[in-house]
Amino acid sequence: MIEQIREKARELLESGELDVVIGYAEGSDPTRTTPIFCRKPEDTDKLVLDGRCVNTLPAYLNKRHEYPKKGWKKTGIIGKGCDIRAITQLIAENQLKRDEVYIFGAECEGVVAHPEKWDGSLHEGNCASKCSACDVKIPLDTDFYPGEKPEVDRSGPYMVSAPALATLVKMDDEDRFAFWRDDFDRCFKCYACREVCPHCSCNICITDRTMPSWVDQAAHTKGVFGWHLTRAMHLVGRCTGCGECTRACPVNIQVDLFNQKMKEVIQESFDYKSGYSMEVKPPLITYNTDDQETYIR
C-alpha cells in the first residue's frame, strides 16, 4: 500500500505537479513516526503508513501555520480517513481550496491511542477509541487510492466513541466540575491542543489577544477553564474528531471529550456532521432563514 503511494508521490514530485508531499516517516524511536515534508523524489523512500501514524497532518495546511505561506501551488498530503475529513472541513470553511491539495488516501486500520502504548502492533488494548466507530476507514475524497476504492454507506450518524464520555455524562454536575478542576490543575497552557488542531484557524487566538484580554493568560483555574471552554465552543460544528488534542496533551487531559459532546449536540440539533461535505457549511457559521429558533430569524 505504502509502496504504491511512494511511487505515485515520487512520480508527481518528479513531474513537478506537486511541490511537496507531506507524510509520515520513521520517528526518533521505534514507537513513533514523525511528519516529513518530501520535496525531492528520493525523500518519498522514507514514507511510512501504519498504526503509529497518529498526527493529523492537515494541521500543516492551516493558514495559521507557515506551510501555506510558502507559495506552493500544490501540496500533496497523505491522509487517513479522519485526516481527509479535516481537509474536507477546511475546504468547507474556505480555509483551503480543493485544487491546492492532492490527497493520497489509503484504507486505515486504526492508529494507536498514544505512541507510549505502541508495542509493535495495533490491537484492542492500544487502538485509539476514535477508530472504534470510524466510518471513514475507507477515506472519503482522494486523488490517489491504491487499488479499487469500495463504496461505503456513511449516511448514519457520527458515532461518538470515547467510553470516557459516557462516564463523564453520568456524573452529577458537582462531580463533573471537580473532575475537570482536578484535571485542569495539570494544564500549563502549552496550547499543544490548539497547535495540533487542523481547525484552530484564527490568526491571533482569542487567548493571545490583550486589547481587551478575553481569557486570563495564566494557567490558574480561571485561565485554564477559560481557555478550554472557549476552545470547545469555537470548534462546535467544526471539529472533525481526530482526537489529536487529547493525544498531544503532554499531561493527559482528554480535552476532546468536550468536542465529542458538542458533536452529539450539533448532530441532534442540526443534523450536521463536520468533515463529510465540502459544500455544506457548519451550522454555527451560517445564517438560515428556516432556522428552528425564532430569535435568529
Partner 1 sequence: MPNIYQPNLMTIKKVINETPDTKTFHLVFQDEELQENFEFETGQFGEYSCFGAGESTFCIASSPTRKGHIECCFRKTGKVTNALFELSEGDTIGFRGPFGNTFPIEEWEGKNVIFVGGGIALPPLRSVIWNLLDLRDKYKDISIVYGARSVADLVYKQEIAEWEARDDVNMVKTVDPGGETDDWDGYVGFVPHILENDFKPDPENTVVVVCGPPIMIKFTFEALERLGFKQDQLITTLENRMKCGLGKCGRCNIGSTYVCIDGPVFKAAEIDLLPPEY
Partner 2 sequence: MRTATLQKNDLDRVIDLLSQADYRVIAPQNQPRLDGPDSIDVAVFKEIQSGDSHNIGEGLSTTGIKPFLFPKDEPLFAYENRGKKVVLTEVSLDFPKTVILGVRPCDVASVSSLDAVFSDKNAGFNDELFTKRLEKTTFVSYSCTEPDVSCFCTSVGLAPDSDKGSDLHMTELPDGTLHVEVKTKAGEKIAAVIDALLSGDGDAVARQQAGVAAAEKITRLRDSAPILPWLQDLGNFGDEMWQRLGEKCLGCGACTFECPTCHCFDIVDENSGNKGYRVKFWDSCQFDHFTLHASGHNTRNSQFERYRNRFNCKFKIYEDVFGEKGCVGCGRCIRGCPVNLDITEYMAEVAHKAAIPNAMSADPDFE
Residue 172 binds partner 2, judged by CB under 8 A:
no
CA distance 260 to 236: 9
Q: CA nearest 168: which of 156, 157, 182, 158?
A: 182
Q: Which does 35 bind (CB under 5 to 8 A by kind): partner 1, partner 2, none?
A: partner 2
CA distance 21 to 226: 37
Among 15, 16, 120, 125, binds partner 2 (CB under 8 A): 125
Residue 190 binds partner 1, judged by CB under 8 A:
no
Among 211, 287, 289, 293, binds partner 1 (CB under 8 A): 211
Number of Cβ within 10 Å of residue 134's Cβ equals 21
Q: Which does 211 bind (CB under 5 to 8 A by kind): partner 2, partner 1, none?
A: partner 1
Helix, strand, coil percentages in the chain from 3-state DSSP, rounded to 5: 40, 10, 55
Q: CA nearest 161: which of 205, 201, 119, 113?
A: 113
Residue 166 binds partner 1, judged by CB under 8 A:
no
Residue 127 binds partner 2, judged by CB under 8 A:
yes
Residue 230 binds partner 2, judged by CB under 8 A:
no
Q: Is-contact 39 68, C-beta < 8 A? A: no
Question: Judged by CB under 8 A, which stretch of 103-111, 148-156, 207-215, 280-288 contacts partner 1?
Answer: 207-215
Residue 99 binds partner 2, judged by CB under 8 A:
no
Count, residues near partner 2 per rule CB under 8 A: 63
**SS3 call for 26:** strand
Tell me the sheet residues that pair with 37: 22
- Least Å distance between CB 7 and partner 1? 42
- Least Å distance between CB 292 and partner 2? 34
Among 132, 213, 252, 269, binds partner 1 (CB under 8 A): 213
203 burial level (CB within 10 Å; 0-12, 13-18, 19+):
exposed
Choice between 73 and 154, CB closer to partner 2: 73
Residue 223 binds partner 2, judged by CB under 8 A:
yes
- Residue 208 neighbours by CB under 8 Å, 6+ apart: 217
Q: Which does 44 bind (CB under 5 to 8 A by kind): partner 1, partner 2, none?
A: none
Among 74, 98, 114, 149, binds partner 2 (CB under 8 A): 114
- Least Å distance between CB 65 and partner 2? 7
CA distance 153 to 99: 26
Q: CA nearest 108: which of 24, 9, 38?
A: 24
DSSP state of 116: G
- Whether cis (ω within 30° of 0) applies to the bond prior to 212 is yes
Interface residues with partner 1 (CB under 8 A) are 210-211, 213
Q: Which residues bind partner 2 (CB under 8 A)?
A: 27-29, 31-37, 39-40, 55, 59-60, 65-66, 70, 113-114, 116-117, 125-130, 162-164, 167-168, 182-183, 186, 188-192, 194-196, 204, 208, 213, 216-220, 223, 243-244, 246-248, 250-252, 254, 256
